[in-house]
Amino acid sequence: MAATWGVDAVERSGPPQAPGKGKGKPPWRSEGLPGTPGGRPKINWWRFVVTLLVVYAGFFVVSSFVDNESVETISYTEFTTQVDAKNVKDISAQGLSVEGDLRSAAKNPDGGATYTRFSTEIPAFANTDQLDQQLRSGQVEITSKPLTRGFFSNLLLSLLPVLLLAGLWIWIMRRGASMMGGGGLGGLGKSKAAKPVEAGQVRVTFDDVAGIDEVENELVEIVDYLKDPGKYRRLGAKLPKGVLLAGPPGTGKTLLARAVAGEAKVPYFSASASEFIEMIVGVGASRVRDLFEEARKVAPSIVFIDEIDAIGRARGGAGGIGGHDEREQTLNQILTEMDGFSGAEGVIVIGATNRPEILDPALLRPGRFDRTVQVGLPDAAGRTAILGVHTRGVPLDAEVSLDQLAKTTPGMTGADLANLVNESALLAAKRGKEKVTRSDFTDALEKLQLGAARSIVMPEEERTRTAYHEAGHALLGMLQPGADPVRKISIIPRGRALGVTLSTPDTDRYAYDEQYLRGRITGALGGMAAEQVIYGVITTGAENDLEQVTMIARGMVGRWGMSEKVGPLTILPNDGSQPQASAATLATVDEEARRIVEQCYERAVQVLTDNRDKLEAIVAALLEHETLDEADAYAAAGLASQSKADVTS
């Protein structure tokens, strides 16, 4: 039962509006392996570039010695001297560049070297006609072909395009294989993951996990086994094959799995179940085999599969093609790897799901997932510990009390509390503060629970109607016996709502009786009842209220046995599946739910009519201040606060 049933919204709109894979790297991330934190080897690009330059320089030097004979660069004067001496055998010219051979060796007067092959440049001002006559008289063979290159140079230039294309093709193939999770064409082959040599440093420990001590105690045994398996093997105890963490989203299931690996100092492979599924049948099973093969290589190790219900859904029903067969083959492969012919000695599988009721029974039997650990919402003490973890690096003002803050956040998960701390820090930084104060936490909590305020200007008539709507919720919450204290009333538009009323309990509640639930329904109908008492009309502002009322009433009749006419039966399954009941029984459920709601609505109208002076007083205070905290709201109604705690506002 959510603790935020007291949040009621007035909608401005008229008629109700309808509410509105992947290819990747290998479908697992690994920790405790060489290279990057994700387990992929890190490339030293500087070393790669330097190596490439050294190889190129060596090739250039070798080709310079092999490709060309010794060519002497001489002056144009020396060249004409050799031409006049009729010692030039042939030349090859390209533009003003000339290269040629002598009939007999000569000594270069500039450098003193003896040469037979030479090169020179003809000055632009030289008389080329006279030079042509000298060359003809000296019987010099003249060609105008480009200067020839050596064998290695020609080979390199001819093979360079081919090498570039081959390199590009290899890069594309390897990248595609890596992204698809395989080593062959299209990524359908065997995945290659980094091969560890030793476990890495601790990433997350149980010190980073708070608020769920009873869950930690169940996992400490696994950590102890991984650290000292001999102590258990002497007594014939075997390591559990798998642990299933079941609980609502954000309760710390993933963090727990990482903490187990961190405490035991073993490699940790993380995967999302949906990443194994492809349209092509057999790919998921291949990826599962590769994952467990890599985990066995570094055993003992931990494999964490998040949202395992994506592939672990119970088999059966109508046969399917494509993705359906792929999911079943992937599930079969996981069943085989966990407790099949192959066996996964030293590999612990930790799965996480928030829908354990839909998992296949073969997955939950002993030998696969040997134990199921429920990870529930933290209590007040747990929330205090979680806030302590998330505020380690946050400078807090002296007036901030984590105990008091925990009492005002019932129903929040660890992820919600982490978000609350972050929002508070962002708000304090935005306001230019050096420390996070109580007002920052209060404003951040108000934003998360009630929504961000909108800067719109409402007509005075609609603003007044909104005030009556919220005052109706608040007054019924104050007058109902055993109701949760009203924490805040506001007619400032937030999100889609034009006003909100927040009621939360003083202590955590785990079970609800019929009187309390009827009180919740009556309070939720307070806004509509107030509009009926004052204006004699019903508006669309009660849309959210009626959704809550319908959910509670149908749960009372169809799930919790709070109707004498239906009896102690479960008619409406909690998993959203089709109810297994006759049409007559379902009609009875609807009739009983309608009866409960009508009785509660009549009571709401009667209470507001009898206490109209208190209703008008709350409305006047709301129109003046727009937002009332707990003390101001009860003072405006002339009632004593029911809260046992000093609630921040």
For the stretch 422-458, pLDDT in tens is: 999 999 999 999 999 988 998 888 888 777 777 777 7
Residues β-bridged to residue 305: 271, 351
Q: What is the pLDDT of residue 115?
A: 82
**Mean pLDDT value of segment 353-364:** 86
Residue 5, both tokens: 């049933």
Domains and CATH numbers, the chain: 69-149 (3.30.720.210), 212-374 (3.40.50.300), 380-450 (1.10.8.60), 460-637 (1.20.58.760)
Q: How close are the terminal C-alpha atoms of the chain, in Å?
A: 25
Residue 89, both tokens: 């055998």
The angle, 0 to 180 degrees and rounded to 10, between the axes of the packed helices 76-84 and 128-137 is 40
* The one-letter amino acid at 114: T
What three-state secondary structure class fits 190? coil
User: 486-490 and 627-629: which strand pairing?
Assistant: antiparallel
For the stretch 266-303, pLDDT in tens is: 887 888 877 777 655 667 788 888 888 888 888 788 88
- Separation between Cα atoms, residue 257 and residue 267, nearest integer Å: 12
b (16+ CB within 10 A) / e for 269-284: bbbbbbbbbbeebebb
- Of 31, 470, 531, 630, catalytic: 470
pLDDT band at 600 (very low <50, low <70, confident <90, very high): very high
Q: What is the pLDDT of residue 317?
A: 53
pLDDT band at 145 (very low <50, low <70, confident <90, very high): low
- Concerning whether 514 is annotated as a catalytic residue, the answer is no
pTM comes to 0.61
- In 3D space, the residue among 443, 425, 422 whose CA is nearest the CA of residue 488 turns out to be 443
- Tokens 């998993």 belong to 575
More confident residue, 51 or 286: 286
| For residue 595, pLDDT beyond 90 | yes
Q: What is the pLDDT of residue 325?
A: 72
Highest-pLDDT range among 139-153, 243-257, 546-560: 546-560
- Separation between Cα atoms, residue 239 and residue 630, nearest integer Å: 53
Sorted by sequence, the CB contacts under 8 Å of residue 175 that are 6+ apart come out as: none
For the stretch 167-188, pLDDT in tens is: 777 777 666 545 444 444 344 4
Q: Please state, in angstroms and as integers, the Cα–Cα distance from residue 391 to each residue in 402, 415, 424, following that order.
A: 9, 13, 10
Strands (E), 419-575: 486-490, 500-503
Tell how far CA 465 is from the center of its chain.
42
Sorted by sequence, the CB contacts under 8 Å of residue 459 that are 6+ apart come out as: none
- Percent of the chain at pLDDT above 70? 77
Binding residue numbers: 247-254, 469, 473, 545
**Mean pLDDT value of segment 114-140:** 80
Out of 27-41, 142-156, 575-589, least confident range: 27-41
Q: Phi and psi at residue 189, in whole multiples of 5°?
A: -90, -155
Binding residue numbers for ATP: 247-254
Q: What is the pLDDT of residue 148?
A: 55
Q: Phi and psi at residue 126, in whole multiples of 5°?
A: -65, 150
Half-sphere exposure of 629 (CA within 13 A, CB side): 11
* DSSP class of 453: B
- In 3D space, the residue among 578, 557, 579, 577 whose CA is nearest the CA of residue 569 turns out to be 557
Q: What is the pLDDT of residue 260?
A: 82
Helix H, strand E, coil C: the string for 267-321 is CEEEEEHHHHCCCCCCHHHHHHHHHHHHHHHCCCEEEEEECCHHHHECCCCCCCC
Which strands, in side-by-side order, build the sheet including 486-490?
Answer: 500-503, 486-490, 627-629
Long-range Cβ contacts of 514-519 (<8 Å, 24+ apart) = 514/556, 514/562, 515/481, 515/482, 516/482, 516/483, 517/552, 517/556, 517/562, 518/596, 518/599, 518/600, 519/480, 519/481, 519/482, 519/483
Q: Are 526 and 542 in contact (CB under 8 A)?
A: no
| For residue 26, pLDDT beyond 90 | no
Binding residue numbers for Zn(2+): 469, 473, 545
Q: What is the pLDDT of residue 421?
A: 93
Q: What is the pLDDT of residue 540?
A: 84
